[in-house]
């Protein structure tokens, strides 16, 4: 995997806890023509999240799907990694294939990020940006969706989409959904839940709006959903001297029927945390006291969960597995991941990894269905050689991100005994 894609950027601003990963577009709308919240066109109570924002590691529980640049052509090759053995292979069933160019069964005419969305019936939904034959010369790049089986065979060919999705994807077992936001000049947001048809008989790839909301400024959707709707955080900002401070005010549920329900309220100095991956949960952290409380999403009631050092500031990157919460903080300008177990003492994760020559803590990237963690173990640097378009032999240094699989308990101890996944370089 390309290190530029695999890296996780930490940010101090608490706003990142509330920001949605779907692409944001600013448009001008006259006040008297602005749409209001509408009732969804479909029953969305069975919706579940398939992926998180920016995730390369789309999972079906046992298999990791990823892409690498095709060595001898444009586009990318789709690969799988066995999450029990760590072995990597191309998603190609052609006998004798060398997996180098567009003749490979795993090849995609893909020029940007890809989402691989495993469905429960075994089909793979691929969504990716492309410049290929779907686009006119000189046109802006857009996105395509296609359907494959687990051998890599194409079931439905690439079909254009109206947007380039960049956030989370969801499914009800029948179709795939993604969020699309348009930011208006007054700060409000038109948010749409777009449904992608997967049935060839009904028009594979056809996009329609399953739900729509016009949300006020300073109410930001998260990517996590319940049976009732999408979790969101209402916030405000104020100036303290020359510093702009973001303050969370309410944890909300933007319901499928278009209404917004307040789940819990935050006091000054408190921030809500909705874990990015793992179990759906909600927490409230008080930086002044170091208190972390877990919230009941149905009632809004809280119970003590853990106590941390005072003065920490939450930042992005978190995972929840049962009574274990792994989250990242900033203290004195340094990133500090902590392992928190309900009622137990917090454990700071001190293992360091190298990225582009800089050291940073080992971060959790995703949670498998069995509760194991995918952990960023840093960069593997190596030399690569290839022939460019002029026929010249080129040698350069590059790198890719090392990934490991471990239990939460192994992560707490520094992930020394984790299963290291085979890299594309070794493959």
Q: How confident is the model at residue 426 (pLDDT cuts 50, 70, 90)?
A: low
- The answer, yes or no, to whether residue 345 has pLDDT greater than 50, is yes
Task: Give the pLDDT mean for 70-78.
Answer: 83
Paired tokens of 263: 């789940």
- The answer, yes or no, to whether residue 9 has pLDDT greater than 60, is no
- pLDDT value at residue 293: 97
pLDDT tens digits for range 229-244? 999 999 987 766 777 6
- pLDDT value at residue 281: 96
Paired tokens of 426: 């070794």
- The answer, yes or no, to whether residue 144 has pLDDT greater than 80, is yes
- The answer, yes or no, to whether residue 31 has pLDDT greater than 90, is no
pLDDT tens digits for range 314-326? 988 899 999 999 9
Paired tokens of 218: 């300073």
- pLDDT value at residue 324: 97
The residues, ordered by sequence, that sit 6+ positions from 242 with a Cβ below 8 Å of its Cβ are none
**Which helix H or strand E contains 253, and what residues bound it?**
strand 243-255
- pLDDT value at residue 359: 81
DSSP letters spanning 64-97? EEEEEE-TTSSSEEEEEEETTT--EEES---TT-
> What is the distance between the alpha carbons of residues 348 and 326, in angstroms, rounded to a whole number?
10
Q: How confident is the model at residue 427 (pLDDT cuts 50, 70, 90)?
A: low
- The answer, yes or no, to whether residue 135 has pLDDT greater than 70, is no
pLDDT tens digits for range 363-404? 898 898 889 999 999 887 777 776 666 778 878 777 788 899
> What is the distance between the alpha carbons of residues 115 and 99, in angstroms, rounded to a whole number?
20
- Kindly report the pTM of this predicted structure: 0.82
The CA-based angle 288-291-294, given to 5 degrees, is 140
- pLDDT value at residue 33: 29
Among candidate residues 12, 79, 19, 26, the one with its CA nearest the CA of residue 231: 19
State the CB neighbour count (10 A cutoff) for residue 184.
17
- The answer, yes or no, to whether residue 419 has pLDDT greater than 60, is yes
CA dist 207 to 214, 250, 300, Å?
20, 33, 35
Task: Give the pLDDT mean for 14-43.
Answer: 39
- pLDDT value at residue 142: 78
% of the chain with per-residue pLDDT over 70: 82
- pLDDT value at residue 3: 35
- The answer, yes or no, to whether residue 2 has pLDDT greater than 80, is no
- The answer, yes or no, to whether residue 16 has pLDDT greater than 60, is no
pLDDT tens digits for range 291-301? 999 999 999 99
pLDDT tens digits for range 274-283? 999 999 999 9
Q: Is 278 left (phi over 0), alpha (psi -120 to 50) or beta?
A: left
- pLDDT value at residue 56: 52
Q: How confident is the model at residue 262 (pLDDT cuts 50, 70, 90)?
A: very high
The answer to whether 129 touches 164, Cβ cutoff 8 Å, is yes
pLDDT tens digits for range 34-70? 333 343 446 788 888 886 654 456 666 788 888 888 8
For the chain, give every domain's residue range: 55-165, 363-427
CA dist 173 to 48, 49, 154, Å?
9, 11, 20
Among candidate residues 208, 189, 235, the one with its CA nearest the CA of residue 26: 189
- The answer, yes or no, to whether residue 176 has pLDDT greater than 50, is yes
- pLDDT value at residue 303: 97
């Amino acid at each position: 995997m390309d290190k530029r894609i695999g890296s996780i950027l930490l940010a101090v601003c608490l706003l990142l806890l509330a920001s949605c990963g779907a692409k944001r577009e600013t448009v001008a709308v006259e006040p008297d023509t602005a749409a209001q919240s509408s009732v969804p066109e479909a029953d969305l109570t069975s919706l579940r999240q398939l992926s998180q924002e920016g995730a390369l590691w789309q999972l079906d529980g046992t298999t990791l799907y990823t892409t690498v640049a095709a060595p001898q052509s444009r586009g990318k090759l789709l690969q799988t990694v066995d999450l029990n053995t760590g072995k990597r292979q191309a998603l190609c069933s052609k006998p004798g294939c060398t997996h180098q160019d567009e003749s490979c069964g795993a090849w995609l005419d893909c020029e940007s990020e890809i989402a691989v969305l495993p469905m429960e019936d075994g089909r793979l939904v691929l969504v990716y940006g492309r410049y290929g034959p779907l686009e006119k010369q000189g046109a802006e790049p857009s996105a395509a969706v296609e359907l494959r089986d687990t051998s890599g065979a194409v079931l439905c060919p690439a079909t254009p989409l109206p947007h380039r999705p960049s956030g989370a994807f969801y499914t009800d077992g029948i179709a795939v959904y993604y969020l699309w936001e348009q930011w208006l000049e007054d700060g409000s947001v038109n948010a749409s839940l777009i449904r992608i048809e997967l049935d060839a008989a009904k028009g594979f790839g056809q996009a329609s709006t399953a739900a729509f909301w016009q949300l006020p400024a300073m109410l930001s959707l998260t990517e996590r959903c319940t049976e009732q709707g999408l979790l969101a955080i209402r916030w405000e900002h104020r100036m303290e001297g020359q510093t702009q401070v973001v303050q969370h005010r309410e944890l909300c549920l933007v319901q499928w029927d278009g209404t917004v329900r307040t789940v819990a309220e935050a006091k000054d100095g408190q921030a809500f945390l909705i874990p990015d991956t793992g179990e759906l949960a909600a927490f409230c952290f008080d930086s002044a006291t170091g208190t972390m409380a877990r919230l009941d999403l149905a009632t809004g009631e809280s119970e003590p969960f853990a106590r941390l050092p005072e003065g920490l500031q939450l930042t992005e990157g978190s995972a929840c597995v049962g009574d274990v919460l792994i989250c990242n903080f900033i203290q004195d300008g340094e990133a500090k991941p902590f392992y928190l177990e309900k009622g137990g003492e917090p454990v700071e994760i001190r293992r360091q990894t190298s990225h582009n020559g800089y050291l940073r803590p080992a971060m959790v990237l995703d949670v498998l269905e069995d509760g194991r963690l995918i952990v960023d173990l840093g960069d593997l640097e190596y030399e690569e050689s290839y022939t460019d378009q002029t026929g010249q032999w080129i040698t350069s240094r590059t790198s890719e991100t090392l990934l490991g699989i471990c239990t939460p308990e192994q992560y707490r101890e520094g992930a020394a005994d984790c299963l290291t996944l085979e890299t594309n370089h070794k493959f």
